[in-house]
Amino acid sequence: MTVRRRVVLAVGANLGDRLGTLQGCVEAIGTLPDTDVLAISPVYETAPVGGPPQPDYLNAVLIAATGLGPRDLLEAAHRLEAEFGRVRAERFGPRTLDIDIISYAAQVSSDPVLTLPHPRAHERAFVLAPWHDIDADATVPGRGPVRDLLAGLGAGGIRRRPDMVLRLPEVLPPPRVLPPPKAGPSAEVT
């Protein structure tokens, strides 16, 4: 049996059909091996942080359970970003899709490939506000409670969009397996 870990993912898009891309992202994450999306925050519209002039983002936070290890999850996130047309041309540049691993099973790691928790999560209201919406008791490992971090930042530059809603992926019931026909005259092919 695979051990599943609780992960917090931040998703954002500021190019193309932003809401459609985020919904597609939620559904794609739900199809990753041994991964279920458990909760989705409300959608926020946010001003870009750093980088060149660009359109506003739509952002949300997902809580998922996954059997993927941290690096496998990161690779899967990068693959999904590419499938949605992300091009890594410039740091903090516009993007069709951005998926950040904010927290992985509350681990703390300074691995340069995947720093956990996300090294700037505690500074970003567009991560903290939606995360707090779906987990009021959340904590950024090594930084403190999300509610306190958010209170210290304020909500400038972010706006909740109640007219935009992301939905959990539909979980289809397992296929129904019919029993084999009973032997006898009615089972014969004529």
Q: Catalytic site residues?
A: 86, 95, 98, 100
Q: Please answer whether residues 98 and 81 qualify as being in contact, where contact means their C-beta atoms are separated by less than 8 angstroms.
A: yes
Burial of 43 (0-12, 13-18, 19+ CB in 10 A): buried
Q: What is the DSSP letter of 109?
A: B
Residue 117, preceding peptide bond in cis (omega within 30° of 0): yes
- Measured CA to CA, the distance from residue 77 to residue 97 in angstroms comes to 10
Q: What is the DSSP letter of 116?
A: B
3-state secondary structure 26-68: HHHHHCCCCEEEEEECCCEEECCCCCCCCCCEEEEEEEEEECC
- Measured CA to CA, the distance from residue 17 to residue 96 in angstroms comes to 8
